[in-house]
Chains A and B, each alone.
Chain A
Amino acid sequence: GESVGLHLPTLSVQEGDNSIINCAYSNSASDYFIWYKQESGKGPQFIIDIRSNMDKRQGQRVTVLLNKTVKHLSLQIAATQPGDSAVYFCAENAGGTSYGKLTFGQGTILTVHP
């Protein structure tokens, strides 16, 4: 069935390092992808999104890469800070009759050590 999954459930990095969080998706019809950050006790917050007609998009300290050939999505965080510690979710939208609905992956726990 349609699903979005993450390769690594946990990631531990040192402050100042770059972080890369990966996500695999299985629905080749998905045309929109989004990354969310969820801090403890809070709802998910939007980080960055990308459409299927792009392979890279940059935000402030974050970059999302999309490889449609292998159905892979990644979130890169530059100069990771302790405040980046959170759970990160990727999500996809399959368009068509699923338009507007997001399917979420399991999440990756990012821990940043000072």
Chain B
Amino acid sequence: DADVTQTPRNRITKTGKRIMLECSQTKGHDRMYWYRQDPGLGLRLIYYSFDVKDINKGEISDGYSVSRQAQAKFSLSLESAIPNQTALYFCATSGGAPSYEQYFGPGTRLTVT
């Protein structure tokens, strides 16, 4: 089984709808991250959490919210989806020092029409 899973893998929704993307990990890591990937722009950090009680905004948090339900679960919500939120979304997890390596999920392709 994959260490980091994301659901759904693909989603098409309409402008104004609320959407939740879910992420689960079995690596036992405290740290979890949500990224957005757009063509030619690499990965941009939306939100990150270093433990269950810690939530931090990344560089592009506007229009998004997150919930860290447990050490293993970190969900991303779009309260009112808009077309420019159409992108590929990745969840990642890391164990912290001494390694900064992040382990990524397979991604969720979201299309907002």
Please indicate whether A and B come from the same complex rather than being unrelated chains.
yes
Interface residues, chain A, with chain B CB atoms under 8 Å away: 9, 32, 34, 41-46, 49, 89, 91, 93, 99-107
Give the shortest distance, in Å, between A32 (CB) and chain B (any CB). 5
- Please give me the residue from chain A that is nearest to B95 by CB atom: A100
- Kindly identify which residue among B41, B48, B100 contacts A34, using a CB–CB cutoff of 8 Å: B100
Inter-subunit contact B102/A102 (CB<8 Å)? yes
Inter-subunit contact B96/A89 (CB<8 Å)? no
Q: Would you call B64 an interface residue if the criterion is a C-beta within 8 Å of the partner chain's C-beta atoms?
A: no
Set of chain A residues within 8 Å of B4, measured between Cβ atoms:
43
For B, the interface residue count at a CB cutoff of 8 angstroms equals 27
Q: How many A-B residue pairs have CB under 8 A?
A: 54
Interface residues, chain B, with chain A CB atoms under 8 Å away: 4, 31, 33, 35, 40-45, 48, 50, 58, 90, 92, 94, 96-97, 99-107
Inter-subunit contact B41/A106 (CB<8 Å)? yes
Inter-subunit contact B100/A45 (CB<8 Å)? no
| Cα distance A49–B98 in the bound complex, in angstroms | 12
Set of chain B residues within 8 Å of A107, measured between Cβ atoms:
40, 42
Inter-subunit contact B96/A101 (CB<8 Å)? no
14 further interface pairs, Cβ-Cβ under 8 Å (given A43-B92, A100-B94, A100-B100): A9-B40, A41-B106, A41-B107, A43-B4, A44-B43, A46-B103, A91-B43, A100-B48, A101-B58, A102-B45, A102-B100, A104-B42, A106-B40, A106-B42
Inter-subunit contact A104/B43 (CB<8 Å)? yes
Interface pairs (12), CB distance under 8 Å: A43-B4, A43-B90, A43-B105, A43-B106, A49-B100, A49-B101, A89-B42, A100-B31, A100-B96, A101-B48, A104-B44, A107-B42
Give the shortest distance, in Å, between B98 (CB) and chain A (any CB). 9
